[in-house]
Amino acid sequence: MKRIRVHNASLPPAAARAAEHWIAVVKGRQLRRSIHVTTLAPGMVAVHLQASPALLQRMGLQHATTAALAEDPPDAVTKRLAWMSLDPRRFSGHVVQGDALLDPCVRPAGEAAARPCARINGGYFNFRQRACVDRPEHLSIGPLRTQGGTPQPTLPLPPAFADDYHELGFADGSSLACAPLLAEQGAPVFAAKASGSPLYQLPRDFAFERGDQVAPGVLWHAHDANPRAAVSLPTTADSGCIRLVAAPMTDRGCADSGWTLAEFSGALARLDRLGGQHGPPNISLNLDGGESVALLAWTEGRPVLDIRQTAQPRQVGNLIEFRAAACLRSPEMVRCVKLGG
């Protein structure tokens, strides 16, 4: 029987409280088979959850449905949700973009390579040149700045969805555009916004069978179940940890193993509230999803976490990377600013 695994008994206080919370909420063998908590480095904790819809509902990570109200049969579908908690006193984030597509699995290089490092896929980009056939594939949808605030060539935001976009900015001046805002003040704001709205659904005359495509950055995929990724950020300097979240599908052919953006919004709102008694909830933003989903970590140059949608990693237009500092310092705030509207 698999059990909850805590690989380092000296978990940071926030991570220890989170682990204790899940054990208290859902006791017994089912949870012990489903959740794994691992300390990867000081200030870096990974949580990997693979559970049935019923268990997710009991944990507050999925709204109750008819199927989820009863215990699932042994062969029921499972969903995956993984997140990495980072101490903002130890880890600094930045946006990575080059002159071509990036492989997220390439080991970090340079003098800081020996320090713990975490990566998650970034925002939307000109995948297969579906946003603009005349521009390079690696270009970001919406503004992107690299270290020092240097603006990079990008593609414009989709006008119909400009109001959904926010700029995610880091202390080194780098930033990128993300959409939509999933949760704020512990509430699933996108779930409420998208409810019943045709804007976030495929048009009635849309047909993949005849070659119709969803352009990168357009949110027509919101009501469909897909692999998802997100970032959850503290709203004050001393209120909590940064969480990098990945939700790959266990079976792309089974919609129940994926997440609609409304469902994902609810799950992120729940994660944002972890440790809420010690400060205000986090705020969470959606990142690119689908085959781009990748959450990775290295310590001393060795891979210690690799959660992806595909065995063969998809190259992406941009990444978000966090590296550990040599010593503790004042927490660095990651800012979230609305772009459209």
pLDDT digits (tens, 9 = 90+) for 16-25: 666 666 555 5
CA distance 62 to 49: 13
Q: pLDDT digit string (tens) for 72-112?
A: 544 578 899 999 999 999 999 999 999 999 999 998 887 77
Could you tell me whether strands 181-183 and 302-308 are parallel, antiparallel, or unpaired per DSSP bridges? Answer: unpaired
CA distance 142 to 180: 13
CA distance 131 to 133: 7
Which amino acid belongs to residue 307?
I
CA distance 243 to 65: 27
Q: Are 217 and 131 in contact (CB under 8 A)?
A: yes
Q: pLDDT digit string (tens) for 206-234?
A: 888 888 889 999 999 999 999 999 999 99
My answer on whether omega of the bond before 180 falls inside 30° of 0, hence cis, is yes
Listing from the earlier edge strand, what are the strands of the sheet with 283-286? 35-41, 44-51, 79-86, 242-247, 228-233, 283-286, 181-183
> Mean pLDDT in the chain?
86
Q: Quick check: helix, strand or coil at residue 42?
A: coil
CA distance 112 to 153: 28
Alpha carbon 253 to its chain centroid, in Å, reads 22
Instruction: Calculate the alpha carbon distances from 30 to 5, 52, 283 in Å.
Output: 14, 9, 30
Global confidence as pTM: 0.89
What are the residue ranges spanned by the domains of the chain?
Answer: 13-204+214-338
Q: Which helix (H) or strand (E) holds 308?
A: strand 302-308
Taking residues 122-143, report their average pLDDT: 97
Q: pLDDT digit string (tens) for 285-323?
A: 999 999 999 999 999 889 999 999 998 889 999 999 999
Place of tokens 């949110």: 219
